[in-house]
């Protein structure tokens, strides 16, 4: 399961990862749409229409509007189209829930997991969990929603490329041109 953590935590792990990356040489591209079975994230979406609903939660404008804005941004920036359902019919692409730190942990902003893959490795349905205890402003909610929804479209982290796919707290609420190109090439 992908987990976005607050910056400054797990520094030793981050240094270890950076050391491994440095030893392997410079990367020339990210791993768009290859999926990661260990984390259940980063699989390409199963189609250009990306429908979503709020799963097992009430529609609370202060929590839900930033998510709706993030889905509209995916629609506006890419060749994907968002479609909102007030109920969650079978086969909805993205099930979004607001949970607390008791579910995600005290440093995890959000989490994305592919729940169902099709026969060619595309994700038919993803679950996005957003931590309402840590995401206390509209800006942090929208950035994290943009980030987690990016994973449902097949994006990986993008510290090299900028945009909302960088991990942790930031004010980026759009996708980088690099990530937009990945999505548009797929659809």
- Check whether 16 has a pLDDT greater than 50: no
Average pLDDT, the chain: 82
Q: Each residue of 34-70: pLDDT tens digit? A: 767 666 567 889 999 999 999 988 778 888 999 999 9
Q: Which of 29, 28, 20, 55 is nearest to 155 (CA)?
A: 29
In the sheet that 123-131 helps form, which strands lie side by side, from edge to edge?
2-5, 108-117, 123-131, 94-99, 49-54, 81-84
**Could you tell me the CA-to-CA distances from 7 to 75, 108, 131, 166 in Å, in that order?**
29, 10, 15, 11
Q: Give the number of other CB atoms < 10 A from CB of residue 43.
A: 26
- Check whether 98 has a pLDDT greater than 80: yes
pTM (predicted TM-score): 0.81
Least confident interval from 39-43, 53-57, 76-80, 132-136:
39-43
Give residue 174's pLDDT band: very low, low, confident or very high (50, 70, 90): very high
pLDDT of res. 132:
94
Structural tokens at position 4: 């976005």
């Amino acid at each position: 399961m992908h987990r976005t953590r607050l910056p400054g935590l797990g520094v030793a792990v981050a240094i270890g990862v950076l050391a491994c990356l440095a030893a392997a040489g410079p990367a020339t591209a990210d791993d768009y749409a290859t999926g990661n079975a260990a984390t259940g994230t980063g699989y390409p979406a199963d189609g250009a229409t990306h429908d979503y609903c709020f799963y097992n939660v009430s529609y609370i404008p202060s929590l839900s509007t930033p998510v709706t804005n993030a889905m509209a941004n995916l629609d506006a920036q890419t060749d994907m189209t968002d479609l909102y359902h007030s109920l969650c019919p079978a086969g909805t692409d993205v099930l979004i829930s607001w949970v607390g730190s008791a579910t995600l942990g005290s440093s995890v902003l959000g989490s994305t997991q592919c729940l169902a893959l099709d026969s060619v490795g595309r994700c038919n349905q993803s679950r996005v969990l957003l931590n309402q205890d840590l995401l206390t402003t509209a800006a942090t909610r929208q950035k994290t929603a943009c980030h987690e929804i990016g994973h449902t479209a097949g994006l990986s982290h993008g510290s090299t490329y900028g945009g909302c796919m960088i991990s942790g707290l930031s004010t980026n609420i759009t996708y980088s041109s690099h990530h937009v190109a990945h999505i548009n090439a797929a659809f």
